[in-house]
Amino acid sequence: MVTIKSKSEIEKMREASRIANLAQKAVERAIRPGISTLELDRIAEKTMRENGAIPAEKGYPSGIKGVPDFPGAICASINDNIIHGIPSSKAILQEGDIISVDLVAYKDGFNGDCARTYSVGKVSVEAQRLIDVTKQSFFEGIKYARKGYRLGDICHAIGEYVDKNGFSVIKEFEGHGIGREMHEDPGIPNFGKAGRGIRLEPGMTLAIEPMVTAGFPEIYSGDDGWSIWISDGSLSAHYENTILITEKEPEILTLA
């Protein structure tokens, strides 16, 4: 069931999302060759807690027997690790890497979720193009995040833009509704047919998140039970914001 947020709930989501964006900016400032993903994790958590929020990803249950709850405040995924990378003191950023950082701030009962892919020092032309196309695919999608359109219109626009630029979306993972829970209905794939799915209404809050690879979109799960990798070792990128459907244009809560 898709929930419609009240005015007071939307204000709380704005605040959680604002803090998530602050944490992303703090991480971005710290990214450089030689820093570990664990250090980035600590920076993000410190920023959230200083602003009265907690990292919602920390302790998130795996739901898989034998796989522990997620240990980090952020997902830190380097190069061909598309999502859910566990922060580590051994994961040291190198010149030319790209890193995706996905984080969720939780405050006053609501979540704000966003992801970015950053370049580490000077990266290849193709790596930068992958980052740029992934980001722009989000903005192509939310052109249809308006009252009266259908969810499939967003999904189709994202997938079409990625495809025409020679990249591929990951089909096994998707965006989602968000609010009191990190993951709510509806699921939001990054591909599909226009004109399908639920009709969008003001008060819906959605986490739109293209996950894109430069290679063949086949994936596998790492030994840690969390990290997801591109099978052919190709670079991958991730971009996400929490948005609010309004009477007019969508409001991007995690860019405020």
pLDDT digits (tens, 9 = 90+) for 28-44: 999 999 999 999 999 99
Burial class, 215, CB count within 10 angstroms (exposed 0-12 / middle 13-18 / buried 19+):
middle
The mean pLDDT of 92-101, rounded to a whole number, is 98
Give the per-residue pLDDT at 86: 98
Looking at residue 109, what is its pLDDT?
Answer: 98
pLDDT of residue 168: 98
* Residue carrying the six token digits 């690879």: 213
| Digit-coded pLDDT (tens) for 15-27 | 999 999 999 999 9
Going by pLDDT thresholds of 50, 70 and 90, the confidence category of residue 188 is very high
pLDDT band at 149 (very low <50, low <70, confident <90, very high): very high
Task: Kindly tell me if the per-residue pLDDT of 115 is higher than 90.
Answer: yes
Q: What's the chain's average pLDDT?
A: 98
Smallest CA-to-CA distance from 44 within 2, 5, 99, 1 is with 99
Residue 256: pLDDT band by 50, 70, 90 thresholds? confident
Whether 225 shows a pLDDT value over 90: the answer reads yes
Q: Assign domain 7-255 to a CATH class.
A: alpha beta
Is the per-residue pLDDT at 157 higher than 80? Answer: yes
Q: What are the structure tokens assigned to 117, written together?
A: 């892919």
Residues in Cβ contact with 12 at an 8 Å cutoff, skipping those fewer than 6 apart: 107, 108, 109, 110
The reported pTM is 0.97
Token readout for 47 is 């920023």
Is residue 16 within 8 A of residue 110, CB to CB? The reply is yes
Residue 140 has pLDDT above 90, yes or no: yes
